[in-house]
Amino acid sequence: MSAARVAVIGASGTIGVVTARALLEQGDELLAISRARTPENAARLDELAAAGARLAYHADLADSDALAATLRGQDALIVAIRASARILPALEPAILAAAQRAGVARFVPDDFGTNSKAAPYGLSAHFDAKKRFFEELDASGMPWTVIYPGGIAEYFVPNLRPPATVYRWGDTELPLALHTLADIGAITARASTDPRTANHAVQLHANMLSTEQMIAELERRWPGQPYAVDVRTSEELERLHREGNPDPGSERLSEREIMGISYANYVLGLLAVPDQPGTLSATALYPDHRYADPLALLADPAFVFGEEA
């Protein structure tokens, strides 16, 4: 199979950089797009360029004409920016329009988290914005693939970094789909141009762990370590997703949006929904991929206690 030409918007971000690395490792031609070079992303951009990526900068992602000129010749476009109920409608339709004008063959929207297709309208403004954009994407006729990675293990696995707090939210026996960033990047890179995934969602669900299982492993690895416990019952999450503060202020997400996402994850079990209509299992698609064990993070003192440990 010849190398694919894949553009990644947000290539220096959390999901973007691991996907960009995986694309380069599998021999694809990478166009890494960022809004600007900054002290925070310079090292990652330099790393990608040294590995063979072509870099491009677009300060205004809503400028469809300029972005279309950059995207011409690309087989797929992966959008990996920090989504919110305000950012999505402001930018993603314009990015889609640019991809269409450029003749991009596949669009991978910015939806790397809870299975928003399975979430009902009204659960969170965050999900509602994603669902509305999917309706626009479907109507556009542009071939698409959406990646639902479950939870990022590096964020979901409990740790004792200061202030040492362990979260027991919702149904703590509920299995959660958790995968490392490296695995999420690898599956995203493979699925973004796979003919089988066109107009399908791809769900990662190889690792299923409950909150209680993770806490038990933390205590087994690091016995006697003190920590605070943050408890939010299922009833509290259900109430706050309806009654929490809807104003995000200067934050990306409001309290109500965060609680809606948490209610979906920790009560409704929507972090991974492999049997959702139109959804393909990443495990079935790529049986050769060997996933890292999220619990292995708990053997690393730097992960558990922080970089200074």
Number of neighbouring beta carbons within 10 Å of residue 301: 14
Amino acid 1: pLDDT:
58
What pLDDT score was predicted for residue 309?
Answer: 44
What is the distance between the alpha carbons of residues 200 and 191, in angstroms, rounded to a whole number?
Answer: 10
Sites in the chain below the pLDDT cut of 50: 309
For residue 197, the SS3 value is helix
What pLDDT was estimated at residue 2?
76
The pLDDT value given to residue 91: 95
Burial group, residue 134, by CB count within 10 angstroms (0-12, 13-18, 19+): middle
If you write DSSP's letter for every residue of 235-273 in order, what string do you get?
HHHHHHHHHS----TTSSS-HHHHHHHHHHHHTS--S--
Backbone angles phi, psi at 279, to 5 degrees: -105, 135
pLDDT at 85 (0 to 100)? 87
Instruction: Provide the token pair at 303.
Output: 């992960």
Asked whether the beta carbons of 32 and 58 are under 8 A apart, the reply is no
d(CA 106, CA 94): 15
Rounded CA-CA distance 96/133 in Å is 10
